[in-house]
Amino acid sequence: MSNIEALQAKLPDEACGALITSDVSRRYFCGFKSSAGVILVTKEQSYLIIDSRYFDKAKQRVTDCRVILLEDMRTQLSELLLKHNIRRLMLESDYMTLSEFAAYKEQLHFVELDATSWLSDFIWGMRIIKTDDEVKLIVKAQRIAEKAFERLVDNIHRDMTEKQVAALLNYYMMDLGADDLSFETIAASGVNSASPHAVPTDKKLQEGDFLTLDFGAAVDSYHSDMTRTLAVGTISPEQEKLYNAVYYANLDGIKAVRPGINGKVVDSVARATLAAWGGYDKYFGHGLGHGVGLEIHEQPTLSQRSRSMLKPGMIVTVEPGAYISGKFGVRIEDMVVVTENGCDNLTKSTKNLIHI
């Protein structure tokens, strides 16, 4: 059963339809990436209404929907809703803005617009469990990122700035076959490594710095995500201790990932390890991890407030960190897929401290 067919089967009755408006959900349901267009799903038939920029390629690639050239969205949607006698239309509440809702309400005044979480919840319920094909795409993206990292380590030198390091890593990922970057690459050294979401600067790498690299590649819209922290030359015993604390928190967090466990519990395991290494848990200010797929941050979550129960097929990051303001920080991040008995680590790059 395709994703479209699964949604059709779940619609409450013949008078209910679903309107897919977000870019990520269009990609998920019809396998086609675009920055515009809508999918109308009814029990009888599904339609992709898309403009001339994408129409020809959509006609070639989309098989689960009838592809219609956009001429006048209001008229075309209205005609299709009337044709299928749709009286209630489910909307993507997680992605639709208030202004978009108001516009649809004005244009489609003859149907009930359901802005509850029904459609978004259903979509997340599907997306949160990755198929074998989705896992393969994420793994492919991850292997590209890892090869790029290996090339970077071989070519990095201490006269480089954070911006140059990030740019070189980005080039390597694209050169190795990435369709896009998962997000803006983080390259943070020295005192900047104490900021979890630092932006690369003109600061040059210096002896004794930590260099934190957070990066990922995208393949066919599916993302990868990893973080490694390197040492520039010789570092202090305090830095080595911090690195080891985060290293073992990462290992213990991964060991805790398994079906039936709450994301909050996994997070607490990693925090307990940081605490045992001398109270470093007080320097860990973000969640342990998040889902990865068509978006770089999606469900489920591993955090102190997580309500997510892990199930086989979910992909999550495990990324403990410790950030001492004004000094330095460390983060180590792997991606894992939950299995029937535990999890498999999709990240193969070494976590042993690399000195450059």
Cα 161 → chain centroid: 27
pLDDT at 153: 98
62: tokens are 């989309």
Q: Is residue 151 part of a domain?
A: yes
79 and 190 both lie in a single domain: no
Domain region containing 324: 132-345
174 and 158 both lie in a single domain: yes
**In one letter, which amino acid is 259?**
P
Q: Is residue 165 part of a domain?
A: yes
Q: Is residue 92 part of a domain?
A: yes
H or E, element range at 274: helix 263-276
123 and 241 both lie in a single domain: no
In the three-class reduction of DSSP (H, G, I as helix; E, B as strand; rest coil), residue 163 is classed as helix
Q: Is residue 105 part of a domain?
A: yes
- End residue of a domain, out of 106, 127, 148: 127
What is the pairing mode between strands 112-114 and 88-91?
parallel
Q: Residue 243: which region, alpha, beta or left (left: phi > 0; alpha: psi -120 to 50)?
A: alpha
Q: Is residue 354 part of a domain?
A: no
70 and 164 both lie in a single domain: no
58: tokens are 């959509």
Cα 285 → chain centroid: 20
pLDDT at 319: 98
Distance separating alpha carbons of residues 91 and 117, to the nearest angstrom: 8
pLDDT tens, position by position, for the chain (356 residues)?
899 999 999 999 999 999 999 999 999 999 999 999 999 999 999 999 999 999 999 999 999 999 999 999 999 999 999 999 999 999 999 999 999 999 999 999 999 999 999 999 999 999 999 999 999 999 999 999 999 999 999 999 988 999 999 999 999 999 999 999 999 999 999 999 999 999 999 999 999 999 999 999 999 999 999 999 999 999 999 999 999 999 999 999 999 999 999 999 999 999 999 999 999 999 999 999 999 999 999 999 999 999 999 999 999 999 999 999 999 999 999 999 999 999 999 999 999 999 99
pLDDT at 169: 98
pLDDT at 65: 95
H or E, element range at 317: strand 315-318
Q: Is residue 350 part of a domain?
A: no
CB 166 within 8 A of CB 206: no
* Cα radius of gyration rounded to whole Å, the chain: 23
Q: Say which residues have a Cβ less than 8 Å from residue 297's Cβ, sequence separation at least 6.
A: 290, 291
CATH of the domain at 19: 3.40.350.10
165 and 76 both lie in a single domain: no
CB 335 within 8 A of CB 346: yes
CB 128 within 8 A of CB 105: no
- End residue of a domain, out of 127, 159, 194: 127
156 and 92 both lie in a single domain: no
pLDDT at 158: 87
In the three-class reduction of DSSP (H, G, I as helix; E, B as strand; rest coil), residue 30 is classed as helix
147 and 271 both lie in a single domain: yes
Distance separating alpha carbons of residues 218 and 123, to the nearest angstrom: 21
338, β-bridge pairs: 343
118 and 164 both lie in a single domain: no
CB 271 within 8 A of CB 246: no
CB 168 within 8 A of CB 148: no
Distance separating alpha carbons of residues 291 and 60, to the nearest angstrom: 31
117 and 217 both lie in a single domain: no
50: phi then psi, degrees, rounded to nearest 5:
-145, 150
42 and 120 both lie in a single domain: yes
CATH of the domain at 174: 3.90.230.10
Angle between helices 263-276 and 237-256 (to 10 degrees): 150
Distance separating alpha carbons of residues 105 and 99, to the nearest angstrom: 10
- End residue of a domain, out of 127, 159, 184: 127
H or E, element range at 61: helix 55-61
Q: Is residue 72 part of a domain?
A: yes
End-to-end Cα separation, the chain, in angstroms: 50
Distance separating alpha carbons of residues 69 and 53, to the nearest angstrom: 10
78: tokens are 């209205």
Q: Model-level pTM?
A: 0.95
When divided into structural domains, the chain yields a total of 2
